[in-house]
Amino acid sequence: MNLYGRFFARIYDRLMAQSEEHGLRERRRALLARAEGRVLELGAGTGVNVDHYPAHVRELVLAEPEEPMARRLEEKNPGRRVVRAPAEQLPFEDASFDTVVATLVLCTVADVPRALREARRVLRPGGRLLFLEHVRSGDERLARWQDRLHGVWKQVGHGCNDNRRTLAAIQAAPFTVEQLEHGRIPKAVAIVKPMIVGVAVAS
């Protein structure tokens, strides 16, 4: 059994609490207000987004590949549909969702281009990807620190990559980015502070 995976699932909400309280929660809420119709959330973790979806969302499907996280997700969100699946291999039909949500997950998926291809596949034409991700810094000095500390961080963060060019990957998928903000994750360690928040359309 993956001991660190179990530990990570157990402490995840506590690890994020300061960031959530100091503004991340509000960022999530503002972004998820754009969700509509049938919604798929990738790597849903413990389900921190669940309460932020607007009431008009028709159906919410939570995908999560890690068993300890998926169990925690189910415990914390009884009655919600949880599907054990990685973003790279989604067990859903083409064009079957109106919205796909990725928050703090493209840093961790093993194959970002494949995950984004899958997101496009399951989105209907004109469907939207809502993303909130920490990314490689635009500041070269910080980016070099992200590269130097990448290996250690990946161990500590249970597979999290601190230096990904996630926006470029989204555009290359291709998605057309129709809304984008650069920000900083409050109270986060410097190498995982740079953040992008936005909305992209499957093009």
Per-residue contact track with ligand SAM, 33 to 52, x per CB under 6 A? ---------xxxx--x----
Is the CB of 110 or the CB of 152 nearer to ligand SAM? 110
Q: How far is the CB of 169 from ligand SAM (least distance, A)?
A: 14
Which member of 27, 38, 61, 66 binds ligand SAM (CB under 6 A)? 66
Q: Please report, as residue ranges, which positions from 89 to 118 form the binding site for ligand SAM (by CB under 6 A).
A: 103-105, 108-110
Rounded-to-integer distance, Cα 8 and Cα 136, Å? 23
Q: Does 88 interact with ligand SAM (rule: CB under 6 A)?
A: yes
Is 124 in a helix, a strand, or coil?
strand
- H helix intervals, 47-195: 67-76, 112-122, 140-148, 150-156, 166-172
Tokens of 67: 């068993």
Q: Does 86 interact with ligand SAM (rule: CB under 6 A)?
A: yes
Q: Does 198 interact with ligand SAM (rule: CB under 6 A)?
A: no
Beta strand 81-83 with 59-63 is: parallel
**Which residues have a Cβ under 8 Å from the Cβ of 144 and sit 6 or more positions away?**
none
H/E stretch holding 30 reads helix 25-32
Q: How far is the CB of 68 from ligand SAM (least distance, A)?
A: 8
Give the residues lining the site for ligand SAM (CB under 6 A): 42-45, 48, 64-66, 69, 86-88, 103-105, 108-110
